[in-house]
Every structure is written in structure tokens, then in C-alpha cells.
């Protein structure tokens, strides 16, 4: 389907939005979240222009925050449903999507969400031991290998906010791919 307004494909929608004021693993579902340009999700512990993830702050607190917003596709939860019950927000994502294979998007993809929010995809979330602490066996389940033996990280993508706005469940997501050649997502 094509969005007549800007020519981008409408590939998906927002299932849920979540945030946590504290550095907790899971985030609480909200009726809406406010994305703020260059900073992230207002009220979330990872809000800021410089890195907010504690392990990265310890390395260098002056790094730019390339992880302002975390998105996971609900299809991952469905894929794992035979072994794990996972609800939106429980893996720490701010936006749970439907209808987009997020981990297959190239770096610098633009996601337009709702009325005005625009996110630039920066990379993959690197699954860590906190996932294993949340549900034993889950870390292995969100890691895979492709036919060449390369590691596939399925725990979502990260992005920066190019334009702020309110995001809520049901909002459409339009995807604009960057110019070719595409750059494969790497962990950030």
C-alpha cells in the first residue's frame, strides 16, 4: 500500500508504547508516549542527547545517544510464544510494532509514525544477560545464525528522534528506505 501524501509504503502500525522512568529491564505500557527531537522518549530513563545506558555511560558518558528509542516487532513475541509468554514493553522496548520486519531494515531507514514523529534507525539492540535474567533461555532464543554462520540479533532496533511527536497504539508507520547501497544494521 502506498501513502499518497509522501510516497512511502505504509508497512505497519504501533501495537503498544512503553516507558520507564527508572533503569528497569521492562517498561510499563502507556496510552501514548512523547518523542522529543534529539533526546528520545520524554520521561524514560534513556532520555538524553548523550548515552544513557549504564554500561555505556561507564565506558564514556559523552558518547552520542544512538539508542534514544527502542522498537521491537510483535512478530518476535509470536515466534517465541511456544516457549515464552512476552507482552509489549517487557523486553524494554518503547514501541512495539506490527507488520514490519524491523531487523531487516537497513541503517538510516526513516520511520514516520503517527502525525509527526520521525525516527532514524541507527542499529540493532545487542541482547544482554538481562534478557536471560528476565526469562531463562530467552537470550539464546533471540539470537540466531544465518546460512553463513553470522549472528542474527532479534531483540529489536534502536533509533534517534529526528522530529518529535506523540505516538500511540494504532498509529501507522511509514517506512522510507535510505539511498542504495544499503548498510546492514549493526549493534549499537
pLDDT band at residue 77 using 50, 70 and 90 as cut-offs = very high
The predicted model gives 74-85 an average pLDDT of: 97
State yes or no: pLDDT of 7 exceeds 60.
Answer: no
Residue at 32 is within a domain: yes
What would the pLDDT profile of 8-27 be if each residue is shown by its tens digit?
Answer: 576 899 999 999 999 999 99
Can you give the CATH number for the domain in which 74 is found?
Answer: 2.40.33.20
Terminal-residue alpha carbon distance, the chain: 31
In Å, how far from its chain's centre is CA 15?
A: 13
Residue 9 is predicted with a pLDDT of 73
What would the pLDDT profile of 134-175 be if each residue is shown by its tens digit?
Answer: 999 999 999 999 999 999 999 999 999 999 999 999 999 999
Residue at 155 is within a domain: yes
Please report, rounded to a whole number, the percentage of residues in the chain having pLDDT higher than 70: 95
pTM: 0.93
Residue at 185 is within a domain: no
What would the pLDDT profile of 47-76 be if each residue is shown by its tens digit?
Answer: 999 988 777 777 888 899 999 999 999 999
- Tell me, letter by letter, the H, E, C secondary structure of the chain: CECCCCCCEEEEEEEEEEECCCCCCCCEEECCEEEECCCEECCCCCCCCECCCHHHHHHCCCCECCCCEEEEEHHHHHHCCCCCCCCCCCCCCCEEEECCCHHHCCCCCEEEECCCEEEEEEEECCCCHHHHHHCCCHHHHCEEECCCCCEEECCCEEEEEEECEEECCCCEEEEECCCCCCCCCCEC
What mean pLDDT, rounded, does the chain reach? 93
Residue at 186 is within a domain: no
Residue at 1 is within a domain: no
Domain total for the chain? 1
Residue at 184 is within a domain: no
Residue at 147 is within a domain: yes
Residue at 183 is within a domain: no
**Range(s) of the domain holding residue 19:** 10-176
Amino acid at each position: 500500500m502506498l501513502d499518497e501524501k509522501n510516497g512511502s509504503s505504509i508497512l505497519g502500525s504501533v501495537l503498544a508504547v512503553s516507558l520507564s522512568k527508572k533503569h528497569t529491564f521492562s517498561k510499563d505500557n502507556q496510552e501514548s508516549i512523547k518523542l522529543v527531537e534529539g533526546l528520545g522518549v520524554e520521561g524514560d530513563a534513556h532520555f538524553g542527547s548523550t548515552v544513557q545506558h549504564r554500561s555505556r555511560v561507564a565506558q564514556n558518558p559523552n558518547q552520542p545517544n544512538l539508542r534514544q528509542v527502542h522498537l521491537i516487532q510483535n512478530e518476535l513475541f509470536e515466534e517465541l510464544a511456544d516457549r515464552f509468554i512476552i507482552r509489549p514493553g517487557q523486553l524494554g522496548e518503547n514501541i512495539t510494532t506490527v507488520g514490519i520486519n524491523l531487523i531487516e531494515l537497513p541503517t538510516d531507514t526513516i520511520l514516520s509514525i503517527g502525525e509527526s514523529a520521525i525516527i532514524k534507525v541507527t542499529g540493532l539492540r545487542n541482547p544482554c544477560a538481562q534478557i536471560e535474567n528476565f526469562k531463562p533461555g530467552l537470550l539464546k532464543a533471540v539470537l540466531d545464525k544465518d546460512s553463513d554462520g553470522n549472528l542474527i540479533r532479534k531483540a529489536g532496533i534502536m533509533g534517534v528522534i529526528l522530529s518529535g511527536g506523540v505516538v500511540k497504539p494504532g498509529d501507522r508507520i511509514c517506512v522510507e528506505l535510505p539511498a542504495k547501497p544499503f548498510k546492514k544494521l549493526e549493534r549499537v
